[in-house]
Chain A
């Protein structure tokens, strides 16, 4: 075909085109042939098979939900289990008139009238052919009532399903979380096909954060269903082969939490609005994670009625609020050991240097008097004494010398003002103020100025400074470990449902707190031991009779505002204006195994209210369970720590 001279030859080109068209026609015929073979195969050869699938007895692919992974405490004590229940399901595609069906379900008392809207929305958010649960747990009586009326409700079926059960009720609910119906919003964060048969999804805490581990893989099976969408077993010549793929169960989680310690803490806090976080400082394991009041998560798995949910969410004590994770409180005097450490690092003061406390402090050139909690003053105090007796004047003075930005720099090394990185969502940052923060936080120029007085009160954990109980426990653990830090974690091990293999999650180390002189740790830990052991220590009663040594720090924080827009009576207001009581501590002082932060809202006194609670937590964790026989390897007296 190659020609030496390339001229346009119209006849040749026309012939070339003609040949190409013929080739195209051949290709078209080939493709049409292929298409027809395929159609012949589908419509003639396999016609009966597909006919069975579609007409008369249609096949429905039904998802087989996996069983959700269990949640166990660190000793294998079950905290969240699965148990069978009867649930009412509706398939929109098979329901002739959705509105009418729902209305009649309300009529026979199987659907609360106030849930009608929510149920309708849930149904419409799912695919037409999905079975949507509309009641999660039917009672025996309801089951019978539905059985009688069943012929009137095409597309509605009762089905046995596994539902979530929390054997310990409200224990640890803020850590464990709970499961509830898959809502419209949940639809957006899940792989929809994998949730085709799933009713419940983690809503909070570990149940939510570890949803992917807990859920597992949905299996599916083919079902023969008749025109009404009911399952039928067919015997005949052309019974199609029904396929089934088994689901893969979710993985079990072992929490770091010790259910026994958790319960002790919850009992100690009963009737209070309070939080306790207890951390093993050596790896960040959260041994107890308490926010009270608690609530029973079993209601959510059962499906709360609108009224029940309303009662829970508008309760003046906000039980749904996770105070340990999201409650922000002024740390009060519990911040003092950290401020002392900061002052040492910044070279503001020497440990032996003494300040004289006359009961009040004044900034140079100012007449404003910053009072000490003790009117008569503490006299001459060094750093150890200042921590032990919680001398405000000492810390006013040290903070004024240090300045807010240097304080910010040193305290942020302990994780204040930042998320601790706990393995569940929703954590709050708290607030560690600085001049830069104030410039960014306020609109008005005059409000952006940082005043020296604000530095003074920051030194005793008041003013802008805010921290969550989790942050306080984390910072205390950091002190206990002399600067070594771990992200707090609720989940410690994961058991693979397929292999049965248990995988230990490694502790998540955070950057350590640098120290100029390791002896500085001895100074502030010594001060904290003084709080509980010195004759003048503010919390000496909490050490009485304990076979291990506690290092702690008390605190009270002023309440600057009453809760949100709750309804309250006058007695409540008075009660809710009281100071918050705080206590942070770790023990044993020379071999730290547990760091605890206690915040009791309106509890008035750190030493009187909060410290005894911490003591109970320490006893529960460090002493043998029965508490009577005490063959405790009593820690040897801490040599270098005490004077």
Chain B
């Protein structure tokens, strides 16, 4: 494409190509820097995955296809103007809650949890929709009210967040319910939740811990206990944590080299291509590799927050800010759990872990960011 529009001078040709692709991106409502950062993470992920999956080309190609599909979703979502998104927010949220209820009633049970809804052709997890629908709905709730939100608004927000979170936690899917709660909670924080409320909610949560403990499933409790003392059960629940720390620690500063991680390649490390892929990077690429990866993630987050700060109305700012920060929570929860800072919850490393469901949701979120950013001048007039 670019070659066909080549001009006479080489320097002006380069310039023209640059401006032209810039225009193309603009026409497609795509934000170049964000796309580049996201693509960089995806490519790094694919490279690591090839090694983590034991040089399985099939796994690599399937994941590459998923990245492609998810980018398509990103492109589609970017075409939706924020005001339409805003108008659709409550409906999307209502649909999500309905589907969650449907899952609770008729969903398929896979691996001991009721998360899937079978629509004949495809099976999907309605909880994924909520990762986007909850922040949208929360932003919609506060967008035409004065900020910081008053008490009545806060109650409405709490209900809007807790209903889907509890439905998802019940499935049981602790990881996703945590992320959905984070998505909604971050909107509330960004909307300017006052310090006294923060302290109040913090106290409430601290008080709720024993109650929550009571409602956790046995395996979830086991995970928390194991986190507190993995050596207690080195052959059972503590096995993951111990092996992932050995993998990371033995990687050292520069790592053992690509496809040379003995922990990963000799299958000491469980779930190495999914939830624990962070440890594979640590083993094969060392602290330097992890540093680069985290830097890439920070680039994505920085661009996202920049877009949020540039947002020209409350709704856009809150949505962009919350989606970006949720992405950050994702990264931190996964890496924290693999490094032994947090208990093991089923949260994949975003854009890197093998698996398609969360990838599509994440890309849709980036699509929303791009849609917001690319239309800010139109809104300004």
Q: Are B339 and A55 in contact (CB under 8 A)?
A: no
Q: Are the CB atoms of A61 and B235 closer together than 8 Å?
A: yes
- With A6-B150, A193-B233, A220-B235 given, is the CB distance from A13 to B250 under 8 Å? no
Establish whether residues A20 and B190, one from each chain, have CB atoms under 8 Å apart when the complex forms: yes
Q: Specify which chain A residues have a CB less than 8 angstroms from the CB of B258 in the assembled complex.
A: none
- Give the docked Cα–Cα distance between A43 and B285 (Å): 11
Q: For residue A49, which residue of chain B has the nearest CB? A: B249
> How many of chain A's residues touch chain B, expressed as a range?
35 or more
Interface residues in B236-250 (C-beta closer than 8 Å to A): 236, 245-250
Q: Known: A43-B287, A50-B245, A58-B262. Is A9-B146 also a contact (CB below 8 A)?
A: yes
* A54 in contact with B235 given A34-B341, A44-B287 (CB within 8 Å): no
Whether the pair A44, B252 counts as a contact (CB closer than 8 A) is yes
Query: Among the listed B234, B308, B314, which residue makes an inter-chain contact with A21, where contact means beta carbons less than 8 Å apart?
Result: B308
- In the assembled complex, the CB of A96 is this many whole angstroms from the nearest CB of chain B, namely 12
Query: Is the CB–CB distance between B309 and A50 below 8 Å?
Result: no
Closest to B302 in A: A25
A40-B287, A42-B245, A93-B266 known; A20+B192 contact, CB < 8 A? yes
The answer, among B146, B253, B282, for a CB contact under 8 Å with A8, is B146
Complex interface: chain A residues within 8 A of B339 (CB)? 35, 38-39, 42
Task: Fill in one digit per residue for B27-67: 1 if any A CB lies within 8 Å of its CB, else 0.
Answer: 00000000000000000000000000000000000000000
Contact of B298 among A32, A129, A193 (CB under 8 A): A32
Contact B305 A16 (CB under 8 A): no
In contact, B246 and A53 (Cβ under 8 angstroms): yes
Within 8 A of B (CB), among A192-230: 192-193, 196, 218, 220
Asked whether B298 lies within 8 Å of A17 as measured between CB atoms, the reply is no
Alpha-carbon gap, A10 to B145, bound state (A) = 11
Smallest Cβ-Cβ distance to B237: which chain A residue:
A193
Q: Does A436 contact B (CB under 8 A)?
A: no
* B151: min CB distance to chain A, Å: 12
Which residues of A (1-23) have their CB < 8 Å from a CB of B?
Answer: 1, 6-10, 13-14, 16-18, 20-21
Nearest neighbor of A34 in chain B, beta-carbon distance? B341
- CB proximity of B290 to chain A, nearest CB, Å: 6
B41 to chain A, nearest CB (A): 15
Contact with A along B131-153 (1 / 0, CB 8 A): 00000000000001111101000
**How far does the alpha carbon of A24 sit from the alpha carbon of B309 in the complex, in Å?**
12
Best-buried of B194, B263, B291, B339 by chain A (most CB within 10 Å):
B339
Specify which chain A residues have a CB less than 8 angstroms from the CB of B13 in the assembled complex.
none
The residue of chain B having its C-beta at the shortest distance from the C-beta of A191 within the complex is B236
Q: Which residue of B lies closest to A16 (CB)?
A: B192
Rounded to whole angstroms, the CA-CA distance of A13 and B190 in the bound complex is 10
Interface residue A83 (Cβ < 8 Å from any Cβ of B):
no
CB distance from B257 to the nearest CB of A (A): 12
On chain B, the residues within 8 Å of A20 by CB distance are 189-190, 192, 321
Looking at the assembled complex, report how far the CB atom of A155 sits from the nearest CB atom of chain B, in whole angstroms.
Answer: 12
Residues of chain B in range 102-151 having any CB-CB distance to chain A below 8 Å = 144-148, 150
The answer, among A13, A51, A128, A243, for a CB contact under 8 Å with B231, is: A243
CA distance A31 to B253 in the complex (A): 20
B282-296 Cβ-contact flags toward A at 8 Å (1 or 0): 110011001100100
Contact across chains for A54 and B321 when beta carbons are under 8 A apart: no
Contact of B249 among A14, A25, A47 (CB under 8 A): A47
Q: How far does the alpha carbon of A28 sit from the alpha carbon of B324 in the complex, in Å?
A: 12
Nearest Cβ distance between residue A36 and chain B, in whole angstroms? Answer: 8
Q: Tell me if B335 counts as interface (CB < 8 A to partner A).
A: yes
Contacts of A603 in B (CB 8 A): none
Query: Do residues B248 and A50 form an inter-chain contact, with CB atoms below 8 A?
Result: yes
Nearest CB in chain A: distance from B190 CB, A: 5
Contact of B305 among A13, A21, A32, A34 (CB under 8 A): A21
Residue B317 is within 8 A (CB to CB) of chain A in the complex:
yes
The answer to whether residues A24 and B190 also contact, given A8-B145, A38-B339 and a CB cut-off of 8 A, is yes
Closest to B269 in A: A54
- List residues of chain B with CB within 8 A of the CB of A9: 146
Report whether B250 and A51 are in contact in the complex, using a CB–CB cutoff of 8 Å: yes
* A469 CB within 8 Å of chain B: no
Within 8 A of B (CB), among A37-88: 38-40, 42-44, 46-47, 49-51, 53-55, 58, 61, 63
B253 is contacted by which of A7, A16, A38, A43 (Cβ under 8 Å)?
Answer: A43
Does B81 count as interface, using CB distance less than 8 angstroms?
no
Give every chain A residue within 8 A of B263 (Cβ-Cβ).
54
Assess whether A18 is in contact with B309, with CB atoms less than 8 Å apart.
yes
A620 to B189, CA, bound (A): 84
Q: Mark A114-128, 1 if CB is under 8 A from B, else 0.
A: 000000000000001
CA distance A93 to B192 in the complex (A): 55
Assess whether B146 is in contact with A7, with CB atoms less than 8 Å apart: yes
CA A164 to CA B209, docked complex, whole Å: 48
Whether B282 contacts A43 by the Cβ 8 Å rule is yes
Q: Which residues of A contact B321 (CB under 8 A)?
A: 17, 20-21, 24
Closest residue on chain B to residue A17 by CB atoms: B317
| 29 A-B pairs with C-beta separation under 8 A | A6-B146, A8-B144, A8-B145, A13-B147, A13-B314, A16-B148, A28-B301, A28-B325, A28-B328, A31-B332, A32-B294, A35-B335, A35-B336, A36-B291, A36-B294, A43-B249, A43-B286, A44-B252, A44-B287, A47-B250, A50-B245, A50-B248, A54-B250, A54-B283, A193-B236, A196-B235, A218-B235, A220-B234, A243-B231
Listed from nearest, the 7 A-B pairs whose CB atoms lie closest are A50-B249, A193-B236, A54-B250, A42-B249, A193-B235, A50-B250, A6-B146
Interface residues of B (CB under 8 A from A): 144-148, 150, 189-190, 192, 194, 231, 233-236, 245-253, 256, 262-263, 266-268, 282-283, 286-287, 290-291, 294, 298, 301, 305, 308-309, 314, 317-318, 321, 325, 328, 332, 335-336, 339-341
A58-B262, A129-B268, A193-B235 given; name 4 further pairs at CB < 8 Å.
Answer: A43-B290, A47-B250, A53-B249, A193-B233
